[in-house]
Amino acid sequence: MITVAPERTTSPKQHIRSAGGNHVVEADGTVRLRITRCSRCESMWFPARDVCGSCGSTDISADLVGPTGTVYAATIVRVDAPGGYRGPYVLAYLDVDGVRTLAHMHADGGAVIAPGLPIRLESRIVADDADTVVYSYVALPIRGDLL
Amino acid sequence: MRDVYIAAAAVEPFGKHPDRNAGELGQAALRRLFASIDLDPGRVDIGFGGSTFGGSLLTQRAMQGVGISGPPMFTIENACASGGSAVNLAFSAVAAGSSDCAIAFGAENLSSLGGGALPLSAKDIEADLGMVMPAAYAMRAQRYLSDFGAKSDVLDAVTEKNRANGAHNPRAHFQKTVTVDEVRASRSVADPLRLLHCCPNTDGAAALLIGTRELIEELGQPAVRIVASITRSGQFNNGYRDMTWPDITARSATAAYAMAGIQPGDVDFAELHDAFSISELLHAEALGFADRGDAHRRTLNGDFHRGGPLPLNPSGGLLSRGHPVGATGVTQICESYWQLVGESEPELQLGSVRTALTHVTGGGIFGVDNGACSIHILRSE
């Protein structure tokens, strides 16, 4: 596992954690997701599993997918959620090389986050309060495709 | 399999009851149930209580309040479908012949959790990333509106309709109409869902006595038979699921219609799971009440109003009654029972109705549309 959090100065009181499934941060900051492929039924799983969730087979292999994908659907959450999440924040379901995953999304103000929007994944901070800093993979619109 | 009937129904009115825990609310519903019939509580030979946050041995705590202890009792946790699952198990016990007289109830106190979105399991990967139920349904709403060319007006229309129905229901948490302008002026929770597109957190309980034909004849009760009782779990799938098609509801509905030997067109009215306005559209389609992608047009056409060809949520739905999680599936059946026997309040009572469908579904965990879904079909004989 070579998940790496980007360097950041935190206050001594802050606890740093990573949220979401296992992933790999490349040297350029982009993220690839560590998935499982089932050799029997061809299901794909993220987060990675030791048993196929569809057929129960343990004949599985590991792979990496991403860093690009598309938005299936997105919403701006305007309430707070447990874990240090303070609204507003954007959540999106992403389609990444055959797996559907939930992630936070960072977009410039005014950018329309519509189904089908192409994105790339990078490691970013998704929650930051007095007690905790949370890192995860975050979807960013791929510039050239923003209308 | 034996025929199974509803022998009595009772609801402890929904609302804010911060001073009573789920066990006490369950007791209150059971006391109303026994006040409505002449039955020695010792005749009850099995009990199922549905609750998500009610705690250990809820069923024993509630049943002791009406003098029942000793027979087998089970507390059922199946998220929003906990109450429907409890009814499903009571049905199965009577149908199988292992019980003649069963109790199924649901009870919940959500006030104890504080306000806001219901807590999801912190062990769930999506909850760990900040997922809340309104956000899950907001994304389904965005995708539905996008895929089928619908406008968010239809979400306002669902709330307006169900709140108008609930305004006549003395057991509802909200007994007041709202206008579409009031819906649009309510604060945004998760775009495109606003506060009045979301059901409230509510406390309450509901109870049913379920038994054989002989039991209802002995009690002199009208004959409303449970002709289908189905519970299904969500199919785990991490691929490109169509989130506008609640497959757990579709699979449950297919099984329920087959069990009852009827088609969706044979249903006279339905109480379905409208935790959010978008849910009514998605579920109306998955239950076969509207063609794929057409529920928004049918809603705006008034087809699902109480005067329309297929009233949906004539008791007000979750949007009016509120959603005391474990009690919802049971109260849907109570409200439908009173419709079928003609005992709903005059303002709530539909015209001539014979067949009702109730549908409850929920549970926000990663990889499934919902964790659990229960469907019941009732027919007056």
Beta-bridge mates of residue A36: A45, A62
Nearest by CB to B116, from A19, A79, A126: name it: A79
Contact B143, A73 (CB under 8 A): yes
Instruction: Tell me what pLDDT residue A108 has.
Output: 72
Neighbours of A87 (CB within 10 A): 17
Q: Are residues B129 and A136, on separate chains, in Cβ contact within 8 Å?
A: yes
Nearest CB to A93 within list B128, B139, B187:
B139
Collect all residues of chain A within an 8 Å Cβ-Cβ radius of residue B122: 82-83
Percent of chain A scoring above 90 in pLDDT: 73
Q: What percent of chain A has pLDDT over 70?
A: 86
Q: What is the pLDDT of residue B313?
A: 98
pLDDT at B122: 66
pLDDT at B114 over 90: no
- Distance from C-alpha of A138 to C-alpha of A121, rounded to nearest angstrom: 5
A133 reaches B (C-beta below 8 A): no
Structure ipTM: 0.94
Q: In sequence order, what DSSP letters do the residues of B268-329 get, joined into one string?
A: -EEE---SBHHHHHHHHHHTTSS-TT-HHHHHHTTTTSTTSSS-B-TT-HHHHH---HHHHH
- Round to whole Å and give the CA distance between B51 and A139: 37
Amino acid (1-letter code) at residue A14: Q
Is B182 in contact with B195 (CB distance < 8 Å)? Answer: no
pLDDT value for B364? 78
pLDDT of the residue at A5: 52
Residue B366's pLDDT is what?
A: 86
Q: Above 80 in pLDDT, residue A13? A: no
Mutate to test the interface with A, among B120, B121, B125, B128 (most CBs of A within 10 A): B128
Task: Give alpha helix (H) positions in chain B.
Answer: 22-35, 58-64, 82-96, 125-128, 133-148, 153-166, 180-185, 213-219, 247-260, 277-286, 295-300, 317-321, 325-340
* pLDDT interval class at B58 (50, 70, 90): very high
| Cβ pair A81:B125 closer than 8 A | no
d(CA B238, CA B235): 10
- Give the model confidence (pLDDT) of A16-64 as tens digits: 889 999 999 999 989 999 999 999 999 999 999 999 999 999 999 999 9
With 0.90 as the threshold, say if the pTM is over it. yes
Q: Which comes out higher in pLDDT, residue B49 or B123?
A: B49
- B239–A43 C-beta distance less than 8 A: yes
Which one, of B310, B254, B320, lies nearest residue B286 by Cα? B254
Put simply, the answer to whether B187 touches A78 (Cβ < 8 Å) is yes
HSE-up (13 A, CA, CB side) for residue A20: 33
Assign B118 to helix, strand or coil.
Answer: coil
Q: What is the mean pLDDT of residues B130-136?
A: 95
Interchain pair A74, B243: CB under 8 A: no
What b-and-e string marks burial along B183-202, b requiring 16 or more CB atoms within 10 Å of the CB? beebebbbbbbbbbbbbbbb
B346 close contact with A: CB closer than 8 A:
no
pLDDT in the model for residue A48: 95
Tokens of B345: 């309040």
A–B CB contacts, 8 A cutoff, strictly below: 111
Active site residue B80: yes
- Residue B235: what pLDDT? 92
- Which neighbouring-strand residues pair with B75? B49
Q: Determine what percent of chain B is predicted with pLDDT higher than 90.
A: 94
d(CA B145, CA B139): 10
- Quick one: closest CA in B to A42, which residue? B239
Cross-chain Cβ contact A81/B191 below 8 Å: no
Q: Pick the residue of B123, B238, B365 with the most A CBs within 10 A to test the interface with A by mutation.
A: B238
Q: What is the mean pLDDT of residues B232-257?
A: 96
| Contact residues, A window 64-103, toward B, CB-based 8 Å cutoff | 72-83, 85, 89, 91-93, 95, 98-100, 102-103
Contacts of A95 in chain B (CB under 8 A): 240
pLDDT greater at residue A7 or residue B216? B216
pLDDT of residue B113: 87
Closest by CA to B5, choosing from B107, B100, B74, is B100
Whether the pLDDT of residue B327 is over 80: the answer is: yes
Q: Measured between CB atoms, which of B122, B192, B240 is closest to A82?
A: B122
Chain A nearest C-alpha distance from B75 (Å):
27
A61: nearest Cα among A87, A77, A40: A40
- Please provide the average confidence, as pLDDT, over all residues in chain B: 96
pLDDT at A118 over 70: yes
pLDDT band at A2 (very low <50, low <70, confident <90, very high): very low
Cβ separation of A102 and B129 shorter than 8 Å? Answer: yes
CB contact under 8 A, A77 and B125: no
Of A20, A45, A79, the CB nearest to B129: A20
pLDDT value of residue B369: 86
